[in-house]
Amino acid sequence: MMKGLKKWRLFSLLAVLTVFLAGCGQQELSTLLPAGQVGKDQFKLLMLSSGIMLFVILVVVVIYVVALIRFRRSKLGEDFVPEQVEGSHKLELVWTIIPIILIIILAVPTVYYTYKLGDVKAMEEVDDEGNAKHLVVDVTAKLYWWEFEYPDLGIVTAQELVVPTKEKVFFNLKAADVKHSFWIPAIGGKLDTNVENLNKFFLTFDQESKGLKDGVFYGKCAELCGPSHSLMDFKVKTLPRDEFNAWAKNMKATADETPVANAAGEEVFKQSCITCHATSGAGSSGAPGPNLAAFGDRNRVAGFLDHDEEHLKEWIKNPQKVKPGNKMPSFENQLSDQELDDLAEYLLGLSVEQ
């Protein structure tokens, strides 16, 4: 009796846990709350395949339960032998035709969406003046950060992808070191970034990110790439087209030298950081370290730490402790406390947002 009660307690606990976990989806991160047409199409396939699998499971369970109850030994006796149906053409047709129908139901939309979502011919389209009709972003995955170049706009940024809403955005994906995988869970499925070849696909961003927690969608590396794979995040800001155009204009304007609030911090940067990092968003990709033109507008340091002076100084002093395996050197013994304060204040002041 007690053993039976324990089983029911376990079942009740699992049921409550299932209900609790069902509410854990975060809109900025969940594949079950798609915020783009690509994600919505993939979600339809997910629901279709899940429905077919659930149907098969239910049919098998029903047959099993019926057989268990109808042909139990206590009801029919020890010597009962059920009707033998071996070689029944009717049954063989049923369990052959039904799976074929289910496979066709699943295969047709899968093939359709595979070709639809893999069609990137529009990436090459230009208008009468020779300008690209669609936004193209070159994504380069590195240990352990992301670089985003907008070749048609002449700007480059890192760790934070900024895109317009309500239109297709095309991506060229590559890796600079080892295989990674580009994934924005709430927007669409992942695609590998390889060293030896270029992968292409597109996504659409139907929802503005400013209403979300932290004002961004979350992006991830979905391919195990080293000790800090789980910390290889990036953020996505989605803006209306006019606001995106303003952002791109401000990024280009960072090429011009302008006075900064903390000149001492700028001097420290030029002496210690400028070899690897740029503070101008105008240009092309290829720098050893992330572009810092809009560092003050980000919401994370190193992709996952709180965006404040304390965590920024922690990162500068000992990057390997924070994110093992990254290529940034330690400055713990190279900069004084005052220099760290000035540098942190300077970096947090780099902003292109109005």
| Alpha helices for the chain (secondary structure H) | 2-21, 37-70, 73-76, 89-117, 241-253, 263-272, 309-317, 319-322, 337-348
Q: Identify the band that residue 336 occupies on the pLDDT scale cut at 50, 70 and 90.
A: very high
Distance CA 232, CA 303 (A): 7
Distance CA 173, CA 309 (A): 33
Q: Do residues 133 and 97 lie in contact, with contact meaning Cβ atoms separated by under 8 Å?
A: no
Report the length, in residues, of the chain: 354
Q: Do residues 311 and 295 lie in contact, with contact meaning Cβ atoms separated by under 8 Å?
A: no
The SS3 call for residue 200 is strand
Distance CA 313, CA 331 (A): 10
**Ramachandran angles phi, psi of 209, nearest 5°:** -85, -10
Specify whether the backbone of 34 is left (phi greater than 0), alpha (psi in -120 to 50) or beta: beta
Predicted confidence (pLDDT) at residue 262 exceeds the cutoff of 90: no
Between 17-26, 32-41, 266-275, the lowest mean confidence (pLDDT) is in 17-26
Distance CA 337, CA 117 (A): 52
Q: What is the mean pLDDT of residues 201-222?
A: 94
What is the pLDDT, as a whole number, of residue 175? Answer: 96
Q: What is the DSSP string of 64-105?
A: HHHHHHHT-HHHH-TT--PPP-TT-HHHHHHHHHHHHHHHHH
What is the pLDDT, as a whole number, of residue 86? Answer: 79
Which residues lie below 8 Å from residue 275, measured CB to CB, with a gap of 6+? 288
**DSSP 3-state percent helix, strand, coil across the chain (nearest 5):** 45, 20, 40
Predicted confidence (pLDDT) at residue 226 exceeds the cutoff of 70: yes
What is the pLDDT, as a whole number, of residue 249? Answer: 94
The SS3 call for residue 50 is helix
**Ramachandran angles phi, psi of 206, nearest 5°:** -85, -20
Predicted confidence (pLDDT) at residue 20 exceeds the cutoff of 60: no
CA distance readout (Å), 33 to 66, 80, 216, 284? 38, 54, 14, 34
Torsion of CA 271, 275, 281, 285, to 10 degrees: 180
Which residues lie below 8 Å from residue 156, measured CB to CB, with a gap of 6+? 147, 148, 149, 150, 281, 282, 283, 284, 285, 291
Whether the ω angle into residue 144 lies within 30 degrees of 0, i.e. cis, is yes
Predicted confidence (pLDDT) at residue 24 exceeds the cutoff of 60: no
Q: Which of 189, 188, 190, 221 is nearest to 204 (CA)?
A: 188
pTM check: above 0.75 = yes
Distance CA 10, CA 101 (A): 38
Around 271, how many Cα atoms within 13 Å sit in the side-chain half-sphere? 13
Predicted confidence (pLDDT) at residue 3 exceeds the cutoff of 70: no
Q: What is the mean pLDDT of residues 290-311?
A: 93
Q: What is the DSSP string of 299-326?
A: SEETTTEESSHHHHHHHHH-HHHHSTT-
